[in-house]
Amino acid sequence: MINEEGWLDKGLKARITVIPIIGWKHSDPYSPTVKPSPNLPNETAVAFYPSLCPFEGTAISVGRGTKYPFQVIGSPDIKVYTYSFTPRSMNGFDKNPLYKDRKCFGNNLRNINPPKGLSLQYIISYYKEYKKNGKGNSFFTRPKWFDTLMGDSLVRKMIIDGADERQIEASWEGDLNRYKEIRNKYLLY
């Protein structure tokens, strides 16, 4: 798609070699044999990543500086959850994590089934807790970064306006269907 849909600047074309995999289906599970990132140490972190990555633009820690990045979430600013963790500078992980050396209260997601793909339930619930505690204006600490991660500012604005996950997903329906139609001609599996 990158070449045929003209996603590169100035008509640039990438040299791509597609190597088909015999006997594999898109629906087959895959377990990485090597960590794809220091902060994605296992399958659980990889599975939660789409849903937790948007927290990078907020006041919520995604567990960088722990042995469980993208498997625990929390903040020192709200104490409504019983789980706690303290991010530290760690070799092989983030050297300067958000809330370094400060106790964060939140959720341990390691023993629950991750959502399939992206779920906004965590972002929305934490925003509501911040708002309930009078800290709603300090939740989106890097709004432009959050908007970049989500594709535009619509999701952030809808969360602030009180939309639920279903309403936000419905706002994507038209664009998503147009994309799916375009991508059909490029699918191998």
Q: Which domain holds residue 175?
A: 9-28+39-186
Confidence bin at 25 (pLDDT 50/70/90): confident
> What value does the mean pLDDT take over residues 111-137?
94
Closest by CA position to 5, among listed 149, 183, 178, 177: 183
Q: Supply the pLDDT for residue 70.
A: 97
34, part of any domain: no
53, part of any domain: yes
Q: Supply the pLDDT for residue 9.
A: 87
33, part of any domain: no
Confidence bin at 38 (pLDDT 50/70/90): confident
Q: Supply the pLDDT for residue 84.
A: 97
> What value does the mean pLDDT take over residues 87-110?
93
Q: What is the DSSP string of 147-185?
A: HHHHSSSHHHHHHHTT--HHHHHHHHHHHHHHHHHHHGG
What is the number of structural domains in the chain? 1
149, part of any domain: yes
75 neighbors 55 (Cβ within 8 angstroms)? no
Q: Which helix (H) or strand (E) holds 128?
A: helix 121-132
58 neighbors 126 (Cβ within 8 angstroms)? yes
Which tokens go with 33?
A: 């044999």
pLDDT one-digit tens code per residue, 151-173: 999 999 999 999 999 999 999 99
User: Residue 181, CB half-sphere, CA atoms under 13 Å: how many?
Assistant: 6
C-alpha torsion sign, points 40, 42, 43, 48? negative
Which tokens go with 98?
A: 């958000």
Residue 64 maps to which CATH number?
A: 3.90.1150.140
Residue 189 has pLDDT above 80, yes or no: no
Q: Supply the pLDDT for residue 102.
A: 97
Residue 115 has pLDDT above 90, yes or no: yes
Q: What is the mean pLDDT of the chain?
A: 92
pLDDT one-digit tens code per residue, 137-147: 999 999 999 99
2, part of any domain: no
